[in-house]
Amino acid sequence: MLTIQKARSLHGTLSVPGDKSISHRSIMLGAIAEGDTVVRGFLKSADCLATLECFRRLGVSIEEVPASVSADPKEPSEEAALIIHGVGLHGLHAPDGVELNAENSGTTVRLLSGILAGQSFSSHITGDSSLQKRPMARIIRPLTEMGILVASNNDDNRLPLRIAGGVPRGIRYTSPVASAQVKSCVLLAGLYAEDPTFFTEPALSRNHTELMLGAFGGNLKIRKSRDSEAVTTILYPGTVLTGQNIIVPGDISSAAYFLAAGLLVRNSEVTLRNVGINETRDGMLRVIRAMGGQMTLSNVHMEGKEPVADITVSSSRLHGTEIGGALIPTLIDELPVIAVMAAAAEGKTVIRDAGELRVKESDRLAAIAENLRKMGIRVDESEDGMVIYGGTLSGAAVDPLGDHRLAMAFSVAGLISQTPTTILDETCVNISYPNFYGDLALLS
Ligand code: S3P
């Protein structure tokens, strides 16, 4: 249990840890590429370590090279790195009767399932009790269409799954949800097909798989619809993937808590360095602008295929806004902390088209509404969103339900509450940001 007191001000500069989505993908693509992949800035959090462990079980050697500080001022110090010794598309080994365990990580299980679909062996994959409740029909359906046998142990489209490997068929698939996990699963399975794979989603979800596959030598095309927000990604198989050097940018989803805190706490100015601002992830920045937040971007540059920037925010009077449509996939993980910003803003904020939040690590719509109400804020919840009426927050006891994003979002709420807020079990921040509270202390 952790008690958060109202903050007087927040000041300082932080480098948030590496992007979770990019870290997962760096291991996966590194593993199935030819040659070595060197990853710097890898996020060592529980979710990404679950991916790392799964690939070790599949026979991939992954070295962890610690950071070294050079004694000679002329020689540069070396950042910690991972070296993944790629085994090629067909070099993975059956994990000898053991179940692969994705722990709490939806990205691990859904992306890995796409790769397992193309293997010459069958695999079993499971996860922790939270992941076992999350829907897997969204990947079972397209993989089955690709001709791959995927069986859910309890016949309920949930984990554990048994994936009989094979040669997936290239398909044309239209996903009802804009989900990068589903898209990546299908594209990764498509690497093993003979024909191209077409994946259409209602709006563009994060495109890190496509960007990284392109850098590794994959052949992809993107087609935007003329009359809707729909986007089709086409993967042409048959190219060789070659190991790369990857620098993982800071995670905008982790930066989001400090951006919100810097805007909400009085007399504050906070800079976050080296944050990934890929346009499929930058919805938080657009919402900050729409709510009247003071924010500047500097040192904008590319880190490989990913744009990054330093972002500075300062205390601002925020006002309500409307969030929906194609904006939602670009800020899906930031919605809990955006809801906290809305709770402290003037006027009302409307969030719609966010039904996906009900199937994350918790039912985030229900949990946000319940906890904001406990803090004295009026919230009208709907099936796919909510209306939040800005007001004054009072402290409350918040149960984050084992969901890292709820723990961090309500910690930010605690910084601006009139009375102390307790987070009942804050250790779940390990999923994406193990040192979250240490970094918060640096700004206080
Ligand atoms: C992720 C995609 C998103 C996001 C998750 C990470 C990814 O999930 O919520 O935290 O790395 O592909 P969906 O694809 O299910 O929206």
Averages of pLDDT over each 10 residues, the chain, 444 residues:
98 98 99 98 98 98 92 82 98 92 98 98 97 98 98 95 97 98 99 98 98 98 97 98 98 99 98 98 98 98 97 98 98 99 98 98 98 98 98 98 99 98 98 98 96
Order of strands across the sheet that contains 231-236: 172-174, 197-201, 231-236, 219-224
pLDDT at position 134:
98
Q: Whose CA is nearest to atom 4 of ligand 1?
A: 333
Ligand 1 atom closest to Cα of 138?
15
pTM of this structure: 0.98
CB-CB contact of 124 with 68 (8 Å): no
Q: How far is the CA of 178 from the centre of ligand 1 (A)?
A: 10
Residue to mutate (ligand 1; options 206, 327, 361, 428; most atoms within 8 A of CB): 206
The alpha carbon of residue 336 and the mean position of all alpha carbons in its chain are separated, in whole angstroms, by 13
pLDDT at position 215:
98
Give the whole-angstrom CA distance, residue 162 versus residue 151. 5
DSSP 319: B
CA-nearest of 114, 122, 138 to 189 is: 114
At 107 the three-state DSSP class reads helix
CB of 21 within 6 A of ligand 1: the answer is yes
Ligand 1 atom closest to Cα of 329?
16
CA-nearest of 396, 347, 392 to 368 is: 396
CB of 104 within 6 A of ligand 1: the answer is no
Q: Whose CA is nearest to atom 11 of ligand 1?
A: 21
CB of 101 within 6 A of ligand 1: the answer is no
Q: How far is the CA of 181 from the centre of ligand 1 (A)?
A: 5
pLDDT at position 77:
79
Q: How far is the CA of 20 from the centre of ligand 1 (A)?
A: 10
pLDDT at position 98:
86
Order of strands across the sheet that contains 161-164: 100-101, 122-126, 161-164, 149-152
How far is the CA of 251 from the CAs of 18, 23, 77, 206, 309, in angstroms? 5, 10, 23, 13, 11
Backbone dihedral angles phi then psi of residue 426, each to the nearest 5 degrees: -85, -5
Q: Which two tokens stand for residue 136?
A: 């897997």
CB of 107 within 6 A of ligand 1: the answer is yes
pLDDT at position 319:
98
**Residues tagged active-site:** 333
Instruction: Name beta bridge partners: 197.
Output: 235
Give the whole-angstrom CA distance, residue 209 versus residue 212. 5
CB of 333 within 6 A of ligand 1: the answer is yes
CB of 87 within 6 A of ligand 1: the answer is no
Q: How far is the CA of 173 from the centre of ligand 1 (A)?
A: 19
At 435 the three-state DSSP class reads coil
CB of 110 within 6 A of ligand 1: the answer is no
CB of 332 within 6 A of ligand 1: the answer is yes
Q: How far is the CA of 189 from the centre of ligand 1 (A)?
A: 18
Residue to mutate (ligand 1; options 105, 113, 181, 187; most atoms within 8 A of CB): 181
pLDDT at position 96:
81
CB of 356 within 6 A of ligand 1: the answer is yes
Give the whole-angstrom CA distance, residue 378 versus residue 369. 9
Give the whole-angstrom CA distance, residue 181 versus residue 206. 9
Ligand 1 atom closest to Cα of 24?
11
At 123 the three-state DSSP class reads strand
CA-nearest of 299, 241, 305, 242 to 274 is: 299
Q: How far is the CA of 78 from the centre of ligand 1 (A)?
A: 31
How far is the CA of 239 from the CAs of 33, 87, 423, in angstroms? 11, 15, 49
CA-nearest of 172, 176, 177, 223 to 198 is: 172
CB of 205 within 6 A of ligand 1: the answer is yes
Q: Whose CA is nearest to atom 9 of ligand 1?
A: 333
